[in-house]
Amino acid sequence: MKLTLNMPEILVIGSLCLYQYAFAFSIILLVLGISGRVMSYAVEMQEKKEQTEAGKEAIRSAIDSVSNALTLGNIVNSKKDNGFH
């Protein structure tokens, strides 16, 4: 598990520290911290999804290239006995 200390975590910690002295400000910091972490998580999941799709597309492209090369090789190397050559 990767533990990081970014802005959302700092906002939540600040919210906990200010809870007794400034309740409204504490709640604002808590909401900002939680929403920031949710947005960060959503961006990370979107990046993973894009990487997975890019990998699948690269594999599909490689398979298509190989199959096209084999098909072209079969067409070029095939001999037709139609009497012209």
Q: Is a pLDDT exceeding 60 seen at residue 83?
A: no
Residue 3 burial (10 A CB sphere; 0-12, 13-18, 19+): exposed
* Cα separation, 17 vs 6, whole angstroms: 17
pLDDT of residue 68: 80
pLDDT of residue 84: 55
Nearest to 5, CA basis, from 27, 33, 31, 44: 33
pLDDT of residue 4: 78
* Cα separation, 52 vs 56, whole angstroms: 6
pLDDT digits (tens, 9 = 90+) for 10-64: 999 999 999 899 999 999 999 999 999 999 999 999 999 999 999 999 899 888 8
